[in-house]
Structure 1
Amino acid sequence: MDVVNQLVAQGQFTVIKQPLGFIKILQWIFAIFAFSTCGSYSGKFKMSVECKDRSESDLGIEVDFEYPFRLHQVYFDAPSCKGGEEPERLFLTGDYSSSAEFFVTIAVFSFLYSMAALSVYCFILEKYRENCKGAQIDFVVTAVFSFMWLVSSCAWAKGLSDVKTATDPEKVITFISACDEQENRCRELYEPKVSGLNTSVAFGFINVILWIGNLWFVFKETGWMAAFSGTYVPSQEKQPAPDSFAQGGYAPQDPYAGSQGGYQPDYGQQGGYTEEGGYSQGYEQQQPTSYSNQM
């Protein structure tokens, strides 16, 4: 307890209060729920076959099945109702282990990765954020798990639907040849309870939402957002503000403001000789003279 309190005092677990760490905890918990509700399932259903000769009847035929739902290996014995013949051995139909095992495998690996990522967040968060390499790897893995959760949940939802059909007592009764005779009476006693399997599918799609939602918070740690935003510079930012010229010691000049003491264009930068034989350094504006003065 002293070690835990010391770590809390040092701020090691503050990331748990943030969405990045809190969602990882939810992923860890719901992954446990997903593979436990599916992988630990076992169910059964019960039927009765009442023959014309009551001594041959079997009023309590129980059929047990469980994960990974290789139903084609599940069998039961039903009376033949044909006067002393051996009971008829029948097998269920279908092998749904692929979708069920795929779903459980993704859940187990998600559980392990969530636990590992949460440990990194709590103890070596600085290295995780160093150069954004850890966050980028985390983003890629999270995206892969998001896709795999979606695929496995859809596959298991379809597989569960087929399992329900294959274990429906009303359908299984049709496999019993004795039930084809009208003098024999066949009926179901109770159906298998699949509420736990329905819950596993619900947990699967909850994990899809959690992992896809976590993509955004991991993406913000990758630094890619800043890189993308830095590639575009608005045109308004490229142009300096109007008052920046004045602050830099430059002011716009008006060539027509000579009468007001402003800037006047200097057309006489190069010197020349005047009519009196002198040398003028600049431009001098001369008034027109009359013809009589020139004479």
Structure 2
Amino acid sequence: AEFLQTLIWGKIMMTGFRLNLSPLKEPLGFVKLVEWLTAIFAFGSCGGFSGRNIVSLVCGDGKNETLNATFHYPFRLSQVRLVDGNTTLCNHSVTTTHLMGDSSSSAEFFVGVAVICFLYSMVALLVYLGYMHVYKDSDFGPMFVSICLTAALAILWLVCSSAWAKGLQNVKDATDTDGIGATLALCKGSNVTCEVTEFASMRTLNISVLFGYLNMFVWAGNAWFVYKETRWHSQKYSSQPGCFGHCGSSSRL
């Protein structure tokens, strides 16, 4: 059965397949390649993050204590232990304490959209490079679906990037000095001073937000190039005076 499935899939892939790299020289194919790369950078810079903040506690008697706040994707901070078990800090008994906040929904939404766009871009590149003759010669359906999906994904990038930007700010607030001070009861109303003395580098997370908004602009631009391949655009220009069928042709880089 597996051999039969492999054989059928091979015939489907090879039927009408004509490798042609020229679409990469056109905006329609080149932008799709850019989308594929930017999607990789987006989910890679967010999904692979792991960092640690070091919290210094200065006790009233001059003694110093140190805590580690280690957090990572998908940033379920409420499950991250700041103090593990019943511990004595600055001569005070401290129960198990977790960080505050949960940004997992926005982080996973962002990474999910990036992975979907990554996979869709690969499939679209396969169609452009091997089945462009079928794509352009077919009915209006494939192009209509393509422009709808492209526009929808551009909107999703805007939504998920905005959500993740807010989620990232929540992560920063929960792991800075004020956030740790609000989490750890020992730091409230006592002679203990709590301060984050070493911060995890969140540069990659900031970059992930930038790539999210970059993807939004790239996908919105791609929607225009897909629209230029539709009959709506070609009929619009072919109906103008002085246009003899060459106005609707695809522009090249």
TM-score category of the 2 structures, normalised to the smaller one: 0.7 to 0.9
Q: Which of 61, 74, 82 is the aligned partner of 2:80?
A: 74
Q: Which residue of the partner structure matches residue 6 of structure 2?
A: none
Q: Deviations over 1:83-104 (max 9, x none)?
A: xx54332111111111110000
Instruction: Identify, as 1 or 2, the structure richer in helix.
Output: 2
**SS of alignment partner, residue 45 of structure 1:** strand
| Equivalent position of 1:252 in the other structure | none
Per the normalisation by structure 2, the TM-score is 0.79
Give 2:114's aligned residue. Answer: 107
Aligned to 1:7: none
Q: Which residue of 96, 99, 104 maps to 2:103?
A: 96
**Distance (Å, rounded) in 1 between the aligned partners of 2:118 and 2:28:** 16
Query: Structure 1 residues 162, 181: closer, same or farther in 2, change over 3 A?
Result: closer
Contact 1:132 1:221 in 2 (8 A): no
1:87 counterpart = 2:94: yes
The offset of 1:49, in angstroms, is 1.7
CA RMSD of aligned residues (A): 2.2
**1:134 to 2:142 alignment:** yes
Which of 214, 218, 226 is the matching residue for 2:234? 226
Is there any run of 5+ residues in structure 1 with no aligned partner, and where? 1-9, 235-295
Does the alignment pair 1:179 with 2:192?
Answer: no
- Residue 67 of structure 2 is matched in structure 1 by 61
Higher relative contact order (CA 8 A, sep 6+): 2
Provide the secondary structure at the position in 1 that maps to 2:201. coil
Q: Is the 8 A contact 2:19 2:130 kept in 1?
A: no
Q: Is the 8 Å Cα contact of residues 59 and 65 (structure 2) preserved in structure 1?
A: no
Q: Quick check: 209-218 or 129-138, which moved more?
A: 129-138
Change (3 A) 1:178 1:133: closer
Matched position secondary structure for 2:51: strand
The 10-residue stretch of structure 1 (29-38 or 159-168) with the greater mean CA deviation from structure 2: 159-168
Contact 2:70 2:80 (C-alpha < 8 Å) held by counterparts: yes
Secondary structure of the equivalent of 1:140? helix
In structure 2, do the counterparts of structure 1 residues 176 and 127 end up closer, same or farther at CA, with 3 Å as the change threshold? same
Q: What secondary structure, in the 3-state scheme, does the structure 1 residue paired with 2:96 have?
A: strand
Question: What residue identity is the alignment partner of 1:100?
Answer: A
2:219 corresponds to 1:211: yes
Q: Distance in 2 between matches of 1:157 and 1:188?
A: 22
Match of 2:246 in 1: none
How many pairs does the alignment contain? 220
Matching residue of 1:259: none
Name the counterpart of 2:8: none
Paired position in structure 1 for 2:4: none
Runs of 4+ that moved beyond 4 A:
none
Question: TM-score when scaled to structure 1?
Answer: 0.69
- From 143, 152, 165, the equivalent of 1:144 is 152
Of residues 113, 116, 123, the one that matches 2:130 is 123
Structure 2 portions without partners, runs of 5+: 1-17, 242-253
What whole-Å deviation, never above 9, does each CA across 1:30-59 have from its counterpart, x for those lacking one? 0000000011111110112233456xx553
Counterpart of 2:47 (choices 26, 39, 44) is 39
Instruction: Tell me the alpha carbon deviations over residues 205-250 of structure 1, each in whole angstroms, 9 at most, x when there is no partner.
Output: 00001000011111111111234457x788xxxxxxxxxxxxxxxx
- Preserved CA contact (<8 Å) 1:139 1:218: yes
The counterpart of 1:170, out of the listed 175, 178, 183, is: 178
Residue 212 of structure 2 aligns to a residue whose secondary structure is helix
Alpha-carbon distance in structure 1 between the residues aligned to 2:158 and 2:183: 36
1:264-295 CA deviation, whole Å, 9 max, x = no partner?
A: xxxxxxxxxxxxxxxxxxxxxxxxxxxxxxxx
